[in-house]
Amino acid sequence: MRRRLVRWSSSLPLGSLICDANPIRRPVQQLSRPYPAGSLSTVPLLDDLLGSEPFMMSGVGEGWPALYKWRDPAYLIVSTEDRVVPIECGEHFLHCTWTQKLMSMAEFMENYVRPEKAGYMAQHDIFEHIPRLLHDLDFPFFCSQGSCTRGHFPKKMIWIGPAGTISPLHTDPHANLFSQIAGYKYVRLYAPRCETNLYRNTTAKYCNSSQIELRGSLMGMLSEFPDFLNAPYVDCVLGPGDLLHIPPLHWHYVQSLTSSVSVTMWCRPKYVSRTND
């Protein structure tokens, strides 16, 4: 399949964190493709790619069947058959409206994705239950090599949701290779050294998340969290076929700009530490 060269340029949906004509204000580092199209002879070791800084690669997914198959809700509905899937309902997992429901993929697409109602299939291990969907993806240059992962990624998760779906600002202990399959997402990242400016949640259950609601009023945020604007960040918009490396312990916020399908691959490299910056 020929990759579309047109990047995200439409006006952003109401309530987006970014709303100007050129939303990438502090862009994530861009890396070239790690190997020539159709050749694996120059594949670098995973350890050479996964460092302590975020990076983005465009076109990594060029040729993946998922890029055109997964744009069609009917394909995902047929692939999951009658299996029920967990859906997060409400604004996001920190919001008072948040709850979880089990439903079929068809119900999710019809009642949440199509009408753009708040609902998210978040970090669901769908490949464990439907491994044939992995045939639509190809991660050879990451998954086949690299001592830090013993040659594989322990977790591969899918994320599906309508425009406006968000993952609040939070941090994870593992390295994350975030692949965008369909639609567009905005991602903002803060280094671990910024933690004191991000006001970690004091509730034990949500201690990996920030108290800051990035879509809230700027004046309200500064009143309650005065050091927040002192935290530097980088950001990007991911489109189909793009890949983003989120290093361990990096704080990140994710918002769907359109209906979206993403796949994350998690591992815990040997360099992870609380001082990673």
Residue 165 lies in a domain: yes
Report residue 79's pLDDT band, with 50, 70 and 90 as the boundaries.
very high
Supply the CATH number for residue 140's domain. Answer: 2.60.120.650
The verdict on residue 43 lying in a domain is no
In a domain, residue 3? The reply is no
Q: Cα(202)–Cα(170) distance, rounded to whole angstroms?
A: 13
Name the residue with higher pLDDT: 144 or 111: 111
Question: Tens of pLDDT along 228-240?
Answer: 888 899 999 999 9
Assess if residue 30 is contained within a domain. Answer: no
N-terminal to C-terminal alpha carbon distance within the chain: 38
d(CA 249, CA 274): 7
Does 24 score more than 80 pLDDT?
Answer: no
Indicate yes or no: pTM above 0.75: yes
The confidence band for 272, taking pLDDT boundaries of 50, 70 and 90, is very low
pLDDT at 40: 38
| Residue 251 included in any domain | yes
Q: Which structural domain range is residue 110 located in? A: 49-267
Calculate mean pLDDT across residues 219-246.
Answer: 88
Q: At residue 246, does pLDDT exceed 60?
A: yes
Domain count, the chain: 1
Average pLDDT, the chain: 77
Instruction: Indicate whether 11 belongs to any domain.
Output: no
Is 90 exceeded by the pLDDT of residue 19? no
pLDDT band, very low/low/confident/very high, at 268 (cuts 50, 70, 90): low
Amino acid making up residue 250: H
| Average pLDDT value for residue range 83-95 | 80
* Residue 18 located in a structural domain: no
Residue range 149-159: average pLDDT? Answer: 66
Contacts of 160 (CB under 8 A, 6+ apart): 76, 108, 113, 120, 121, 260, 261, 262
What pLDDT, on the 0 to 100 scale, is given for residue 277? 42
Q: Where are the alpha helices (DSSP H) in 94-194?
A: 105-108, 126-129, 140-143
On whether residue 230 sits in a domain, the answer given is: yes
Tell me what pLDDT residue 119 has.
86
Q: What is the pLDDT of residue 202?
A: 87
| pLDDT reported for residue 266 | 80
pLDDT at 196: 92
List, in sequence order, the alpha helices (H) in 33-181.
46-49, 66-69, 73-80, 105-108, 126-129, 140-143
